[in-house]
């Protein structure tokens, strides 16, 4: 079965490594017996992702991407291993999509003449208001 990242890009299940560990935190009678937490490990360099996606992911600053080029996502939100697996997979797909969003370059604009005049007028008005507050000595 393939994991669908976008309409055009799918990953094979074999490219994602799953590890099941014990969840941390408070639990109950069953807590030390079952491994419900899920760790998703994905090697960016060894994947079948297009080169553009690989470069963007490696350049993306996220605590879940290691310096060696591996995506490591741990999910322990629910008591079910299957639900945690789905949550981790959803986070993984969202991470890839977030890394590949191209941010529109900002074009610097100049302040209009009218806006400059309004700013200066308000500064003068403010200064006049403050001047009225001053205590002027009588001679």
| DSSP 8-state code for residue 66 | -
Query: Is 48 within the bounds of a domain?
Result: yes
User: Whole domain around residue 25: which residue ranges?
Assistant: 2-99
Residue 136 in domain: no
Say if pTM beats, i.e. exceeds, 0.85. no
Say which residues have a Cβ less than 8 Å from residue 45's Cβ, sequence separation at least 6. Answer: 54, 58, 69
Tokens linked to 114: 């009218």
Segment-wise mean pLDDT, segments of 10 residues, the chain, 139 residues: 81 87 75 81 88 88 89 88 92 89 90 97 96 82
- State the pLDDT at residue 112: 96
Angstrom distances, CA of residue 126 to CA of 78, 122, 135: 57, 6, 17
Question: Is 21 domain-assigned?
Answer: yes
- Does residue 89 sit within a domain? yes
Asked if residue 110 is part of any domain, the answer here is no
| 125 inside domain | no
Token duo for residue 78: 């629910």
- Whichever domain contains 12, its CATH number is 3.30.160.20
> What pLDDT is recorded for position 136?
76
In a domain, 111, yes or no: no
């Amino acid at each position: 079965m393939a994991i669908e990242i976008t309409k055009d890009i799918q990953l094979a299940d074999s490219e994602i490594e799953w590890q099941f560990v014990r969840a941390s935190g408070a639990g109950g009678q069953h807590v030390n017996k079952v491994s419900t937490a899920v760790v998703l490990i994905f090697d960016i360099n060894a994947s079948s992702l297009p080169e553009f996606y690989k470069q963007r992911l490696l350049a993306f600053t996220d605590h879940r991407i290691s310096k060696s080029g591996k995506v490591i996502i741990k999910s322990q939100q629910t008591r079910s291993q299957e639900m945690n697996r789905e949550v981790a997979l959803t986070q993984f797909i969202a991470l890839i999509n977030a890394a590949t969003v191209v941010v529109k370059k900002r074009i610097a604009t100049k302040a209009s003449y009218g806006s400059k005049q309004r700013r200066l007028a308000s500064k003068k008005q403010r200064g006049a208001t403050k001047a009225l507050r001053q205590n002027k000595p009588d001679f």
